[in-house]
Structures are given as structure tokens and as C-alpha cells.
Amino acid sequence: MDLSKYIDFTNLKADATCADIRKLCDVAKEHGYASVCVNSRYVALCKKLLAGSDVKVACVVGFPLGAMSTDAKAFEAKKAVEDGADEIDTVIPVGAVREGDFAYVYSDIKAVLASGATVKVILETCLLSDEQIAKASEVAARAGAHFVKTSTGFSTGGATLHAVEIMKASCGNCKIKASGGIRDAETAAKYIEAGVSRIGTSSIL
């Protein structure tokens, strides 16, 4: 299986340097990955480094906690798009999901969608019950999100096939991105076979 077009090649580490991001882009171009996924500081640099290639620039928003104000997320997404981001991976307000405040969750997602980018909504499934995963997936789809995504990779757990099954059954026409703990081609292939359209990883697959 050719994994290249499924891969969002990622470096979201706090101590990432410009040299690390240049290496990320070089590897992504070499392997023909779908995108690089970075923090907002590096969006303009990635756009410059990836010019002339098919590799997209994805940027995380409200990362990694999702507990920022909606206005802050919307501003960050808008600025990332101005700097050249093609895709936004935004962290859902997990506390609002756990409280059942899905009106807030819906408006939070809509605000990020106003950036005009392709938006992936990170659910942080390790912190949610099966019922909450299903409802959050449903709300993300209703808001117009393009993807629902399992995890930041910075919380208590990463992607699971069980969570993907729930998301797939609940997210309508949304695509699914799995991330967190996917470090080899065999594991990535299992998620793709389960219906995942993107894989977030910092490993070269």
C-alpha cells in the first residue's frame, strides 16, 4: 500500500527549531506526503519551503488543550491562512463536550471554519466516553468540518481503532484522521483499511 498521500508529516514539539522544520519539509517533499503539520509560527516558512510541490501546509489551532477562547482560535486560524496554511487542525473544547454544551462546541468549530481552510476537528478521544465521541463527531459534521481527528498526541492516549469505528458511524460525510501513536507502516495501513483518510505521524512511513 502506498501510504504517502495519507500522511500529515508532523512536528509540533515545543522545542522544534527552524532547522527541524526545514528537515520536515524536505522529507515531506521527498516522500510526496499529503501535508506537513506545524505550529503557527512556522506556517510562512513551510509555505516558502514547499513552493512548487504538492505538499500542503497544515497548522494546529488551540493546540494542544482546546480550552482557549473561540475568538482566539478564530484569530489564530485566520492568521495561519493569511500566512499560507491550507488546512487547520483545531482542538475541540473538550470540557464543553464533557459538560454536554454542544451549542458551544458547534459555534467554536464554525468560528474556525470561517478561515476558509480545510478544517480537521481534533476530538481528543482518550478523554471522552464512546457516547461523547459519537456526539462530538456528529456535531463537527453538522458544523461543516471536513475531518474529525482522533487525538493531539499530547494527551493521555492516541488513536484507537475502536474510536475510529465510533467516529465513522457518527460523522456523516466527514473524513477521518487518525493520529497519536502511529509509528509504522503496518499500523497506518490498519487505520486506512478501517476507513481513515489521513494519518498524522512524526515518523517516516
Active site residues: 89, 149, 177
Burial of 125 (0-12, 13-18, 19+ CB in 10 A): buried
Strand 35-38 relative to strand 87-91, pairing: unpaired
* Region at 119 (left for phi over 0; alpha for psi -120 to 50; beta for the rest): beta
Dist CA 140 CA 194 (whole Å): 20
Dist CA 64 CA 67 (whole Å): 9
CB atoms near residue 182 (< 10 Å):
25
Dist CA 199 CA 176 (whole Å): 9
Read off the DSSP letter of residue 90: E
SS3 percent helix, strand, coil of the chain, rounded to 5, is 45, 20, 35
Q: Name the residue among 135, 146, 137 with its Cα closest to residue 99.
A: 135
User: Do the Cβ atoms of 105 and 136 come closer than 8 Å?
Assistant: yes
